[in-house]
C-alpha cells in the first residue's frame, strides 16, 4: 500500500526532517515555492521581501509570527495562497516584511529550530 509514510506530531522529529530536505533554488513561481516547503522550513524571497511558510498543529509558524509582531507592537498581514484559480485548494501562507521584521523573525525562527531558505539577490 502506497502512502506518505507515518504522520508525526513530534515537533523535534518535524524539525529534524525539515533539516534533511534539500532547499529550493531559483523557484519560478509561488507554486514551486509551496511544493518545496514542509513543516519546519520557511522560504524568504529577498527581491520581494516576502516570507512563505506552511503551518501544522505540531509547529505553528503563524504563532511565532504573531508573537514576534506583538513584541514589535505591530500586527502581521498574513495572506493565504491557493493552488488553483478558484481559491479552493489552500497552499502556503505568505507575509511581506520590513527589514526590522525580517531580522526579528529570523532570530525567532533560528531559536525555534526552523530552517530558513533565502533567495539570492539578483
Q: pLDDT tens digits, residue range 10-57?
A: 556 555 655 555 555 566 667 677 777 777 889 999 999 999 999 888
Q: What average pLDDT is seen over the chain?
A: 81
CB distance 63 to 56 below 8 Å: no
**16 within domain boundaries:** yes
Contacts of 12 (CB under 8 A, 6+ apart): 113
**Residue 55 CA to chain centroid, in angstroms?**
8
**18 within domain boundaries:** yes
Amino acid 90: pLDDT: 86
Q: Using the structure block, give the residue that is written with the C-alpha cell 518545496.
A: 36
Is residue 71 predicted with pLDDT exceeding 60?
Answer: yes
Query: Which has more confidence, 26 or 69?
Result: 69
**2 within domain boundaries:** no
Number of domains, the chain: 1
Longest dimension (CA), the chain: 50
Mean pLDDT within 71-90: 91
**1 within domain boundaries:** no
Amino acid at each position: 500500500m502506497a502512502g506518505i509514510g507515518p504522520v508525526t506530531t513530534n515537533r523535534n522529529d518535524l524539525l529534524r526532517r525539515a533539516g534533511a530536505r534539500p532547499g529550493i533554488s531559483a523557484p519560478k513561481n509561488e507554486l514551486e515555492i509551496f511544493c518545496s516547503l514542509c513543516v519546519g522550513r520557511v522560504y524568504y524571497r529577498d527581491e520581494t521581501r516576502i516570507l512563505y511558510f506552511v503551518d501544522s498543529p505540531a509547529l505553528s509558524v503563524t504563532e511565532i509570527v504573531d508573537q514576534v509582531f506583538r513584541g514589535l507592537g505591530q500586527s502581521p498581514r498574513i495572506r493565504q495562497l491557493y493552488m488553483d484559480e478558484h481559491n479552493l485548494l489552500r497552499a502556503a501562507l505568505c507575509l511581506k516584511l520590513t527589514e526590522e521584521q525580517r531580522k526579528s523573525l529570523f532570530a525567532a525562527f533560528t531559536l525555534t529550530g526552523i530552517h530558513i531558505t533565502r533567495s539570492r539577490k539578483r
